Structure 1
Amino acid sequence: MIAIAFPSPPPTTAELETLRQEVRAFLAAELAHLPPRERVRSWMGFDASFSRKLGQRGWIGMTWPKRYGGHERSALERYVVLEELLAAGAPVSAHWIADRQSGPLLLKYGTEEQRCEILPRITAGECFFCIGMSEPDAGSDLASVRTRATPVEGGYVVNGTKVWTTNAHLCHYMVLFCRTGVQEDRHAGFSQFLVDMKTPGITVRPIADLSGEHHFNEVVFQDVFLPRSALLGKEGDGWKQLMEELAFERSGPERFLSSFVAMVEAVRALRDAPSDAAQAAIGRMTAQLVVLRRLSRSVAGMLQRQEKPDLQASLVKDLGGVFEQEVADIIRSLVAVEPSLGAKDELSATLARLVMLAPSFSLRGGAREILRGIIARGLGLR
């Protein structure tokens, strides 16, 4: 038998539960005006003013050093805040990427000047990041990207295109993953750069999703000059750094809580007279949710111990994506409503938005096929 080891998740404490209740009270007041059909957007909801309020409460950059605007709290305290934000469907998209992965990347590989200038703005909820990874001809196969940064006097010139770049039209910075060297093997010759989105030569073009909304973008680099100080870490170390970054992206509670608001609405609709089939289905979904949460909290503990949970994070992301996509179909089989964005019925409108969001759950953070390849390689199967 082949197994993937997940350490026991850290136990909860009275301090963590106190924090949880504090966050719940804050969200109950702040989101009282927001109906479920809006909250089901979960971490795709963009609201800069809400991010600033979280920053004022000290709930962004929670684990970072105080000298950079952080609060030096534990990864588990941060996890509690994330869980409550997602379960409530809070509009956290503005600061999400910066808090989750770009900030930690700068902490480890950025210059002191970059850390002092940018990190306090992130923790204040006033500086937003996007990710320049996927490309039109590469998708989730990041080893196939073609965007190149060519060394020139004083820095680099970048040419290429990135795609599915969430919130690029609203963000201040991008962490760009591109080629800088000869491709010795599939995972060599890459580097990462900190890119100011106001840099001349960058064009951002909207990509509408199934609902006609604008979250995604195509970002074109045409002879974009980046100073040498924009390089993050060492030239050629981009793949190693990228894998560290993706461990943060793939293991959090957003990988299984994106459908949670719709689950709550379904339970509310069924609670007065649930059929045996409905009770069984809700029970199965709840059990899956509990298991995924345990796995995800285990990875949070590994990250706090500065371990490298690449394999475990990929598994959480894959299992979570499957679960989140199944929720929409399960609810439709249990409740006699047709999904409709314009419906007066809140469950119908909430379900409609979830149905349109669900296809992206197995793409964002790495396509399902890519993740399963990582898992197979980690188990020695390929």
Structure 2
Amino acid sequence: MTSLLPMPGLVAIPPEDEALRAPVRAFLQSAMRDVAPAIRARSWLGFDAGFSKALASQGWIGLTLPREYGGGGRSGFARFVLLEELLAAGAPVCAHWVADRQSAPLILRYGTPAQRDFYVPRIIRGEAFFCIGMSEPDTGSDLASVRTRATRNDGGWLLNGRKIWTTNAHRSQYMVALVRTSGAAEDRHKGLSQVIIDLSLPGITVRPIRDVTGDAHFCEVLFEDVQLPADALIGEEGSGWKQVTAELAFERSGPERIYSSLVLAETWLAEMRAAGEVSPASTELAGRIAGNLAVLRAMSLAVADKLTKGENPELEAALVKDLGTEFEQAMPDWIQAALERDAHAPSPALARTLAYVMQIAPSFSLRGGTRQILRGIIARGLGLR
């Protein structure tokens, strides 16, 4: 039998990192055994602090972070294996996801020694959950139009403004926010900084926003004369735009940008197999899904390789995110059409899973940057603008 070796130029997961798959899968098979598909389909939008704490006890939060802070000191490939298994199982990872994926690396790269020592070990232990304050009302995906302002005063910084579509702000202890520390909104990238906000401070109001699926993970956050300490600033004042674009490469590059609909696909495939006869149309669709996943996975692994080498994969991450979310959004429509062609009445479990993914899918191309924003980044990276 021909060995399935990677084609020349493709990135392969090193054996020592691939070896992580078996223990993670065994852990998840036990933890997720009795969880319904419609719940598992929420995966990285599913919030379960207890589950995140259990992952931390296994050493699986902060897998790539330095050992001196309690992290695993592993490569980006090890984290890729972990995330693949978590998403394939539909594990509820949202509690620690943002802190592990981008807040901790951001603080390690730009933060002070005191910030690193305080926040990073708590993130790794599953004790500190972060949200990201980027979008604002009436500005869409135009982050450069930030109006939330932090003004320097004797106590540090006085914060006023609003953030919106902030995932799990009502369940998080901290927010990393992009704010304006000088100039006006018309100054665009100039005068922007990042601050860490303790969400228990006076003057902060968090309003959950219920979406069409019935979930309430998005929030609007209001800041009214919130006094931040001087050490709330991350990095240099005015360097927020450079920092946030580096941070977004972490957000856009992971396998969550291609696996959000995977539980739905596996639930559909299992039901088709159980029916005893898979139609040619369903066989074709299964091949289409597998083919898309193979290409997108190879692209995402190439991004993981760049991150492991310390490179900035801004262009490559934007490509993966744009193509990946297009695939994820198409999948529920493909499966719905296949069920109708086969005149197959889905089981209640499949019907509920399909309904959830169909409703949440429009958001896939919004989170982490809209398709228009991403294609602007891609065009600029290719020298087309």
Question: Who is 1:28 aligned against?
Answer: 29
Q: Distance in 2 between matches of 1:236 and 1:117?
A: 23
Between 90-99 and 59-68, report the one with greater CA deviation.
Answer: 59-68
Give the superposed CA RMSD. Answer: 1.8
2:108 & 2:18 partners in 1: Cα distance?
A: 28
- In structure 2, how many angstroms separate the alpha carbons of the residues matched to 1:270 and 1:156? 58
Q: How does 1:136-147 map to 2 (within 5 A)?
A: 136-147=137-148
User: Which among 282, 287, 309 is matched to residue 291 of structure 2?
Assistant: 287
Q: C-alpha distance in 2, partners of 1:47/1:171? A: 12
Determine if contact 2:11/2:298 at 8 Å carries over to the other structure: no
For 1:269 and 1:308, the matched residues in 2 are separated by 42
Whether the aligned pair in 2 keeps the contact of 1:156 and 1:228 (CA below 8 Å) is yes
1:282-325 Cα distance to aligned partner (Å, 9 max, x none):
11111011100000010011011111111111111000110000
Find the counterpart in structure 1 of residue 266 from structure 2: 264
8 Å contact from structure 1 (residues 137, 145) kept in 2 = no
1:83-162 pair list within 5 angstroms: 83-162=84-163
Give the conservation status (yes or no) of the 8 Å contact 1:9–1:301.
no
Gaps of 5+ in 2: 1-7
Q: Which residue of 2 is the match for residue 299 of structure 1?
A: 303
Render the CA deviation track for 1:318-364: whole Å, top value 9, x for unaligned: 001100000010000011499x9xx9621001111111110110100
C-alpha offsets along residues 46-72 of structure 1, whole Å, 9 cap, x if unaligned? 000000010010011011112211111
**Aligned-partner Cα distance in 2 for 1:303–1:245:** 12
Q: Which residue of 2 is the match for residue 4 of structure 1? A: none
Partner of 2:332: 328
1:278 maps onto 2:279 in alignment = no
Q: Shift of the alpha carbon at 1:154?
A: 3.4
Give the distance between the partners of 1:364 and 1:90, measured in 2 at CA: 19
Q: CA deviation at 1:113?
A: 1.8
Paired with 1:373 and 1:55, the residues of 2 have a C-alpha distance of 37
Alpha-carbon distance, 1:76 to partner: 0.6
Give me the whole-angstrom Cα distance separating, in 1, the residues matched to 2:326 and 2:190. 31
Please name the residue that 2:4 is paired with.
none
What does residue 3 of structure 2 align with? none
Q: Does 1:230 align with 2:232?
A: yes
Residue 236 of structure 2 corresponds to residue 239 of structure 1: no
In the alignment, residue 71 of structure 2 is paired with which amino acid?
G
Shift of residue 15 of structure 1? 2.1
1:73 partnered with 2:74? yes
Are positions 1:14 and 2:18 aligned together? no
Q: Which runs of 5+ in 1 are unaligned?
A: 1-6
1:309 to 305, 308, 313: 313
Distance, in Å, in 2 between the alignment partners of 1:378 and 1:117 is 36
**Partners in 2 of 1:135 and 1:263 — Cα distance?**
34
In the other structure, the counterpart of 2:5 is none
Contact 2:14–2:77 at 8 Å: present in 1 too?
no
Change (3 A) 1:274 1:344: closer
Q: CA deviation at 1:181?
A: 1.5
Tell me the distance in 2 between the aligned counterparts of 1:209 and 1:133: 19
Partner residue of 2:355?
352
What is the distance in 2 between the residues matched to 1:206 and 1:59? Answer: 29
Q: Distance in 2 between matches of 1:9 and 1:223?
A: 52
Paired residues of 1:43 and 1:96 also in contact (CA < 8 A): yes
Number of the residue aligned with 1:60 = 61
Residue 45 (structure 1) aligned with residue 46 (structure 2): yes
DSSP 3-state at the match of 1:107: helix
Partner of 2:166: 165
The answer to whether the 8 Å contact 1:266/1:335 transfers is no
Separation in 1 of the partners of 2:214 and 2:81?
33
1:254 aligns with 2:256: yes
Query: What is the TM-score normalised by the length of structure 1?
Result: 0.94
Kindly tell me: are residues 190 and 9 of structure 1, through their superposed partners in 2, closer, same or farther at Cα, counting changes over 3 Å?
A: farther
In the alignment, the residues of structure 1 paired with residue 158 and residue 72 of structure 2 have an alpha-carbon distance, to the nearest angstrom, of 37
* Partners of 1:111 and 1:8 in 2: CA distance: 39
1:380 corresponding residue in structure 2 = 383
Secondary structure of the structure 1 residue equivalent to 2:244: helix
Counterpart in the other structure of 1:180: 181
1:381 maps to a residue whose letter is: L
SS in 2 for 1:214: coil
CA distance in structure 2 between the aligned counterparts of 1:274 and 1:378, rounded to whole angstroms: 43
Q: How many residue pairs were aligned?
A: 374
Shift of 1:9: 4.7
Distance 1:11 1:90 in 2: 25
Q: CA deviation at 1:188?
A: 1.5
- Aligned-partner SS, 1:158: strand
SS at match of 1:169: helix
SS class of match (1:114): helix
Match of 2:152, SS state, is strand
SS of match in other structure, 2:170? coil
Worse-matched range after superposition: 7-16 or 103-112:
7-16
Residue 317 of structure 1 aligns with an amino acid whose one-letter code is K
* SS at structure 2 position matched to 1:335: helix
- Give the 3-state SS of the residue equivalent to 1:199 in structure 2: coil
The 2-side partners of 1:65 and 1:82 are apart by 18
Instruction: Using the TM superposition, name which of 361-370 and 177-186 deviates more.
Output: 177-186
**1:8 Cα deviation (Å)?**
4.1
Please state how far the C-alpha of 1:74 moved relative to its aligned partner. 1.0
Structure 1 residue ranges, 4+ long, deviating more than 3 angstroms after superposition: 7-10
Aligned counterparts of 2:375 and 2:51: Cα–Cα separation in 1: 36
